[in-house]
Amino acid sequence: MNIFQLIIDYASALVLPAILVGFPLYGMFKKVRVYEEFVEGAKEGFNVAVMIIPYLIAILFAIGMFRASGALDFLTDGLRPVLAFIRFPAEVIPMAIVRPLTGSGSAAIVLDMIGQYGEDSILVKMAATMFGSTETTFYVIAVYFGAVNIKKTRHAVPAGLIADVFAMLAAVYVVLWLFG
């Protein structure tokens, strides 16, 4: 039995309906004009989505170009000798680079690696741990800051990237420690 599938099934089967029903129900109990309030709030959804479009275009087109340029191969080759020094396997370098840039791209890499090395391999475990323990940093930045029109992001990018670099290294060593 897949424990996580079970948790996800229960979470989406229980938590979400509980909120969807619970919030309006509690509102009604508190004599709130629930319908009017809901519509008032939901109005914002459209504006926010439209507001983040320019930010998303800016981020995604740069990332798209970067991926299409073959830069990944160059970077993998360039980093290989440096990372070999610290026992970081070359096979997971593409995953470590792509993970903060795109979610779908990194999912494709995991799938690719499963085909190449098998689900049980330690390399796939590393890549999947990288995928599961971090987020698509640049997408999150574009959406969250775009929604409130923040252009000067200050130390958000370096903080996010430092955490990402750390997570990529940690994923390798934690998997080596647990399964190696």
Partner 1 sequence: MLNYIWGGLIVLSLIFALSSDINDFARDTYRNGTPLPVTVSFPNEYDSEARRQDVRVRLPADVYQAHFGLPQTVNLAWDGTLVQNEDGRELRFASGADLPEPLATLCARTGDEDCRGPTAGDPTLGSWTTAVAFRPVRWVKMDAIASAALDFAETAVTLALGLIGGLGLWMGLLKIAEASGMLHALVRVTQPLIRLLFPQVPRDHPALGMIVLNLSANMLGLGNAATPLGIKAMQELQTLNSNEDTATDPMVMLLAMNTASVQIVPPVLLVAIMGLQINQLFFSILITTSLSLIVAIVAAKTLGRLKRFRQS
Regarding 90 and contact with partner 1 (CB under 8 A), the answer is no
Q: Considering the complex, what minimum distance in angstroms separates the CB of residue 103 from partner 1?
A: 7
Select from 11, 13, 18, 82 the one that contacts partner 1 (CB under 8 A): 11
Taking CB under 8 A as the criterion, the residue among 13, 18, 65, 82 binding partner 1 is: 65
Q: Which of residues 16-55 bind partner 1 (CB under 8 A)?
A: 16, 19-20, 23-24, 26-27, 29-30, 32-34, 37-46, 48-50, 52-53
Among the listed ranges 77-85, 86-94, 126-134, the one in contact with partner 1 (CB under 8 A) is 126-134
Nearer to partner 1, 83 or 160 (CB): 160
d(CA 100, CA 94): 11
In the complex, the smallest distance separating the C-beta of residue 66 from partner 1, rounded to whole angstroms, is 5
Give the one residue of 13, 82, 84, 162 binding partner 1; rule: CB under 8 A: 162
**Is 148 a binder of partner 1 (CB under 8 A)?**
yes
Q: Which is nearer to partner 1, 81 or 152 (CB)?
A: 152
Record the tokens describing residue 89, joined without a space: 């396997």
Q: Is 5 among the residues that bind partner 1 (CB under 8 A)?
A: yes
Q: For partner 1, which residue of 88, 93, 96, 131 counts as binding (CB under 8 A)? A: 131
Residues 99-118 that bind partner 1 (CB under 8 A): 100, 103, 107, 110-111, 114
How far is residue 51's CA from residue 87's CA, in Å, rounded to a whole number?
44
Q: Judged by CB, which is closer to partner 1: 59, or 83?
A: 59
Cα 99 from Cα 77, distance rounded (Å): 18
How far is Cα 170 from Cα 1, in angstroms, rounded to an integer?
A: 28
Report the alpha-carbon distance of residue 174 to residue 128 in Å, rounded. Answer: 12
99-118 burial, b at 16+ Cβ within 10 Å, e below that, comes to bbbbeebbeebbeebbeeee
CA 173 remoteness from chain centre: 21
Task: Count CB atoms within 10 A of the CB of residue 34.
Answer: 16
How far is the CA of 136 from the CAs of 26, 35, 39, in angstroms?
Answer: 35, 35, 31
